A and B are shown apart, each in its own frame.
Chain A
Amino acid sequence: MRHHLILRVVTKLLVGSIILFALYVQFHGDFSPGGGFQAGVIMAVAFILYGIVFGLEKVQAVFPAWLVHKLMALGVLIYAGTGVVSMLLGYDFLDYGAFTPEHPSHGQHWGIFAVEFGVGVTVTGVMVAIYYAFAMRRPAISDEEW
């Protein structure tokens, strides 16, 4: 299947920057707009774009469906696990001051970092999983059908 030359070249150029931008939004969300949810969506978009242009097999070779399904649950576990850890340290559920008791606002930074990462992982997993679920239903349609 050798068609859409421009789309393929542009996609190859863009996918890397999209992933980089997703990481920026994820880990710079404390200072600029964005956070786990937006970063997860952007990360998912990188894989979905790759899948649309190069086909489902190519993207699933990089990001297999079983991994996507595990990531969906892993993100929620990271988030809830952060709360459980803070409880084990003797504080309230999701009270991030627990991580550095001598300097509570520093612990808040770590806590927010962890839960935003959890949100990002779950959102990436769910968005890609939903795309896979739709795309696996039927083989790719030909251009003429549109």
Chain B
Amino acid sequence: MVEMFIDLTLFVMLVATAIAITRMHRLFGVTMMAGVFSLLSALLLVTLDAVDVAFTEAAVGAGISTVLMLSTLTLTSRIEKPSTRSPLIPLVVAFVTGAAIIYGTLDMPNFGDANAPAQVAVAAQYLERSPDEIGIPNVVTVILASYRGFDTLGETAVVFTAGVGVLMLISGLRRRRRRNDDQDEREEAS
């Protein structure tokens, strides 16, 4: 009963935050609300006992993302531009997509269902075998780093690639070289 109340409260607050984000035009406030959204998602993950994921969501979603969004805001405008187009077509698209997603979730197991396919198939094997094979209490770490070490290597490579991509796109590295070129040209001219 209490758990149901907590879940419902969190979901209502999540939806309220999402609606508030769509209604706001000051992007600073939108960024802060996005952080609130991430914290609420982290709380929902805690109620599912997925503390590792909740930890990541709180650190990345509420922490780093907010900082990066604010950094982006300093490079762009801080007020949303008013749209001149009719909102009808985007509204229809959003409703159709939303209806499709809700229709898709009808087949999914209930919230926190212990008999969900994810719980009964391979997870049981991990829980059963990891104490003997590896002997580390945190099974999430065991799965990430050992049983699925290839996946995690790929994820690390993805994080690395993302970093390289951002550096190539917006870091000052290339600009600095161009400025040096300008200097060289100026020196040659003088």
Q: Mark out the residues of chain B between 64 and 115 whose CB falls within 8 Å of any chain A CB in the assembled complex.
A: 64, 67-68, 71-72, 74-75, 78
Known: A38-B52, A108-B133, A126-B160. 17 other contacts (CB 8 A): A33-B55, A38-B55, A41-B63, A42-B59, A83-B153, A93-B150, A94-B149, A111-B145, A112-B134, A112-B146, A116-B145, A129-B167, A130-B162, A131-B67, A133-B172, A134-B71, A146-B28
Q: With A126-B160, A137-B170 in contact, is A131–B135 under 8 Å at CB?
A: no
Docked pose: A79 CA to B170 CA in angstroms: 27
The interface on chain A, measured as residues whose beta carbon lies within 8 A of the other chain's beta carbons, has a size of 56
Task: Please name the 7 residue pairs, one residue from A and one from B, whose CB atoms are nearest each other, closest first.
Answer: A126-B163, A134-B71, A133-B171, A94-B149, A112-B145, A33-B51, A41-B59
Main secondary structure, interface of A, reads: helix
Residues of A within 8 A of B74 (CB): 134, 138, 141
Give complex CA distance A142, B159 in Å: 32
Q: Is the CB of B134 within 8 A of A125?
A: no
Q: In whole angstroms, how far apart are the Cα atoms of A137 and B137 in the complex?
A: 45
**Judging by beta carbons under 8 Å apart, are B68 and A130 in contact?**
yes
- Residues of the A chain whose Cβ atoms lie less than 8 Å from the Cβ of B153: 76, 79-80, 83, 94, 115
Q: Give the residues in chain B near A96, CB-CB below 8 Å.
A: 146
Cα A146 to Cα B133 with chains together (Å): 55
B172–A33 CB distance below 8 A = no
Do residues B156 and A79 form an inter-chain contact, with CB atoms below 8 A? yes
- Seen from chain B, the residues whose Cβ lies within 8 Å of a Cβ on chain A are 28, 51-52, 54-56, 59-60, 63-64, 67-68, 71-72, 74-75, 78, 132-138, 140-142, 144-146, 149-150, 152-153, 155-157, 159-160, 162-164, 166-167, 170-172
Bound form: Cα–Cα A130–B156 in Å: 15
| Given A34-B52, A96-B146, A105-B135, A132-B156 contact (CB < 8 Å) | no
State A118–B152 Cα separation when bound (angstroms).
Answer: 11
Cβ–Cβ < 8 Å partners of B160 in chain A: 72-73, 75-76, 122, 126
- Kindly list chain B residues whose C-beta atoms are within 8 Å of the C-beta of A44: 64
Chain B residues whose CB sits within 8 angstroms of the CB of A98 once the complex forms:
none
| Residues of B with C-beta under 8 A to A93 | 150
**A115 with B133: CB separation less than 8 A:** no
Contacts of A105 in B (CB 8 A): 132-135
What are the residues of chain A within 8 A of B166 when measuring CB–CB? 129-130, 133
Query: In the assembled complex, how far is the CB of residue A74 from the closest CB belonging to chain B, in whole angstroms?
Result: 10
Q: Chain B residues with Cβ under 8 A from A122's Cβ?
A: 156, 159-160, 163
Report if A30 contacts B (CB, 8 A): yes
- Roughly how many angstroms separate A30 CA and B133 CA in the complex, as a whole number? 14
Residue of B nearest to A113 (CB): B145
The residue of chain B having its C-beta at the shortest distance from the C-beta of A75 within the complex is B156
Return B80 CB to nearest CB of chain A, in Å. 15
Contact indicator A137/B64 (Cβ below 8 Å): no
Bound: A36/B159 CA distance, A: 12
Shortest C-beta distance, A75 to chain B (Å), equals 7
B153 nearest in chain A by CB position: A79
Cα A130 to Cα B28 in complex, Å, equals 20
Q: Is the CB of B28 within 8 A of A76?
A: no
